[in-house]
Amino acid sequence: MIVAGGQSPGMLDAVVSSALRNTVLAAAVLAYPVSWVRRAGRGLPEALGASQRRLLPTVTGSPHFRDGKFHNTLPTPTLKPANARDGLLRQWHEQRHNGQPGGPVPLVAPEFPAEAGELAVTWFGHASALLEIDGRRVLVDPVWGERVSPSPTLGPTRLHPAPVALETLPPVDVVVISHDHYDHLDLPTIRVLLRESTAPFVVPVGIGEHLRTWHVPEHRIIELDWDGSATVGDLTLTCTEARHFSGRFFARDTTLWASWVIAGPEHKVFFGGDTGYTPAFAGVGARFGPFDLTLLPVGAYNEAWQAIHMNPEEAVRAHGDLGGRVMLPIHWATFNLAFHRWAEPVQRACTAAENSGVRLVVPLPGQRIDVLSPPELADWWSAVGSQADRPVEAADRSTPVTSPE
């Protein structure tokens, strides 16, 4: 049978089916960006934290806040002029994979004593660590989230899993935050700590407003400006100067950034958080040092933002300015945030430390170090290497081990 138009029913069915498929395909193509944007934006407003309007009443009283934002003591550009940005675009295209490890990152399943030690540190990767100081525990810049971004689908992901579940940590006495960037202030982690812990959060000015937005109760928030101090138990925590910036979206420098002095009755630790080199370290060392342990950032450096991130040699210099005894390099290994090779920060730090006579400890993620009796330095990172030096097929990103190699 022939229908109107000279087409058989089978031909008509084929035409209709083809048209329907094309329509469905077109709709799917058009809908994909919409669904992707929805996924990328899921939870975005809450992850951003407090708005500028909400922050203003808290931050305007700081002497470091003027013209609508916080300022470093030294003039501190975050990027060089436009031609440098052009270079950064080329660098991103050509070198963005350099920061990937060349193989699985080995992890240690930490074993914590029932009681906190005199002076010990467990490094979890990047800037996250658990300090034991004179029988107290201090958790610094805890980030257990999979992605350091306000979006669940965009932004840098972990290069290795967290070596231990956050819920299984021993009770901590205080949580210290250096600034509000996503690789240092992580909403999923805050949610767990809010549920599983009663410890107060000691933070720079303005970050308390982020915490209030996330329903952290007022009695658990202690906000300090540079040179301000607070006592938690028999620990004294002093907010000290850093050279950096802040911001969780387009607005920058809306909250303060800081380094921290954490002092017990017998021992002192300096936590650098994230910072460029500054002569202020020498002043901190003169006022509060010497320090039994310093945790100083050595990674994510680049010529274009040298004022806000130290390179490894500057970190070793800062350790000397502070009067440090043992140095633990942080801010490397866990997130790909720059263009240098994965192992380069710790390799350069080791060379600089040897040249300066500095005692360095470089634990595997999850390894607990007794700072009063530190182990000999053992190179575990060279075996991992960098993807740029040794391309490998996709594989598991970590290999848990029970003890350091």
pLDDT of 363 above 90: yes
pLDDT of 25 above 70: no
C-alpha count within 13 angstroms, C-beta hemisphere, residue 394:
0
- For position 7, what pLDDT does the model report? 39
Nearest-angstrom CA–CA distance, 149 and 281: 30
C-alpha count within 13 angstroms, C-beta hemisphere, residue 400:
9
For residue 137, the SS3 value is strand
pLDDT of 401 above 60: no
For residue 195, the SS3 value is helix
Nearest-angstrom CA–CA distance, 342 and 137: 30
Query: Which tokens go with 176?
Result: 């210290």
Question: Is residue 260 within 8 Å of residue 239, measured between CB atoms?
Answer: yes
Fold of 105-401: Metallo-beta-lactamase; Chain A (3.60.15)
Gyration radius (Cα) of the chain, Å: 24
DSSP string computed for 342-367: TTHHHHHHHHHHHHHT-EE--PPTT-
* pLDDT tier at 45, thresholds 50, 70, 90: confident
Tell the burial category of 174 from Cβ atoms under 10 Å away from its Cβ (0-12, 13-18, 19+).
Answer: buried
pTM of the full structure: 0.86
Nearest-angstrom CA–CA distance, 203 and 222: 6
For residue 21, the SS3 value is helix
Question: Is residue 271 within 8 Å of residue 140, measured between CB atoms?
Answer: yes
Question: Is residue 173 within 8 Å of residue 199, measured between CB atoms?
Answer: yes
**Domains of the chain, residue spans:** 9-41, 105-401
- For position 153, what pLDDT does the model report? 82
Nearest-angstrom CA–CA distance, 251 and 242: 19
Cα of first residue to Cα of last residue in the chain, in angstroms, is: 80
State phi, psi for 220 to the nearest 5 degrees.
-105, 10
Quick one: average pLDDT of 51-60? Answer: 95
Give residues with Cβ within 8 angstroms of 184, minimum separation 6: 127, 141, 143, 177, 178, 273, 274
Quick one: average pLDDT of 58-74? Answer: 96
Query: Which tokens go with 139?
Result: 């958790």
- For position 2, what pLDDT does the model report? 32
* pLDDT tier at 96, thresholds 50, 70, 90: confident
Worst-scoring range by mean pLDDT, 34-48, 54-68, 145-159, 366-380? 34-48
Question: Is residue 101 within 8 Å of residue 386, measured between CB atoms?
Answer: yes
